[in-house]
Amino acid sequence: MRKRLGRPWLWLALLVVLIVFPFLEPPIFYMRLVSTILLFIVLAQSWNIIGGYTGYISFGHVTFFGIGAYVAALLFRAAGWPPYAAAVPAGLAAALFALIVGFPTLRLRGPYFAIATLALSLVVEVALANLPFTGSGEGIVVRGGMPFTRMALEQAFYVCYLALAALTVGAVVWMERSKFGYGLRAIRDDQDAALSVGVSGIRLKLVAFALSSFFAGMAGSIYAHRAAYVSAPDVFTLDISIKSLVYAVVGGSSTVAGPVIGSVLMELLDIGLTTSVLGQIRIDHIVFGVLLGIVVLAAPRGIMGLTSR
């Protein structure tokens, strides 16, 4: 267990640094950069629950992120709910939707599940883009719920993302030590053998899918307030699903530290590429595809696998 989690004092030191960082009032660019990295730690780690530990590769993780964003936007429009209040309802809505769609889709395996989740994200995007109460094509403006100065506003969103990232990582740490986590790994390694010894496959997979979606929905709710505007093309972008998968796999899925390391390194690389002259031809997508192919072929356990080797 210690090898899987790393040294606890390093995690504690990192948490202390991250807590202190925003109150030093660094340039807003750097605070937003770290906030974005924390967002993708949540998304990669939540994808890791279903993709890494359960072995069900999802290309539709953005579905639950988008649902969380819309729930937060609707709550703000109806009652002025701030992001920290809307996060839990948004996560619960995403988890409930995951339970509904997970019952039929989790019976699929391999590429069939991946295709089903990708198709699901497209269907939900089209539906939310055309429903009258979601603003149809106009979207929903989410602005004015937190009347702070610009620096205080960035600090507030930073704290929200940091708290959510810590909660998500903590949930995966708990999974590492629980019977629930052992059951998921048994399903991933050999589902038929796991079922033959009494592992409740569909129940564990549904819980994992709902837990994964819960954190993605909470991330979407905070993003909605930070972006100040929610529309289907913005929150259902395929980039969210691709980055969630790639960051977790490159760092090392089915580990606690892997998605964290992958999110930090790959998001910095992505920002460097998109802000360069090569960003005009979306070179980041090409690099991500090449890196994913290299990792799958040469280092299937990601960076964490190479370090343990």
Structure token digits, residue 284: 């980041």
Please list the alpha-helical segments (H only) found in the chain: 2-5, 8-20, 28-51, 62-79, 83-105, 111-130, 150-177, 179-189, 191-196, 201-227, 232-235, 238-251, 257-274, 283-298, 302-308
pLDDT of residue 145: 57
| pLDDT < 50 positions in the chain | 1-4
Question: Between the CA of residue 90 and those of 44, 113, 159, 206, 228, what are the distances in Å?
Answer: 18, 24, 18, 18, 16
Given this model, what pLDDT does residue 196 score?
77
Instruction: State residue 278's pLDDT score.
Output: 63
Burial 230-260, CB ≥16 within 10 A → b, else e: bbbeebbbeebbbbbbbbbbbbbbbbbbbbb
- Give the residues across from 140 on adjacent strands: 230
The pTM score is: 0.91
Residue with tokens 């290299």: 294
Q: What is the pLDDT of residue 308?
A: 67
Domain ranges of the chain: 26-237
Give me the pLDDT at residue 280, please: 62
String of DSSP letters for 79-109: H---HHHHHHHHHHHHHHHHHHHHHHHTT--
Question: What is the 3-class SS of 167-220, one letter each residue?
Answer: HHHHHHHHHHHCHHHHHHHHHHHCHHHHHHCCCCHHHHHHHHHHHHHHHHHHHH
Closest CA to 250 of 241, 242, 262, 260: 262
Residue 160, C-beta contacts closer than 8 angstroms, at least 6 positions apart: 83, 84, 87, 222
Beta bridge partners of 141: 229
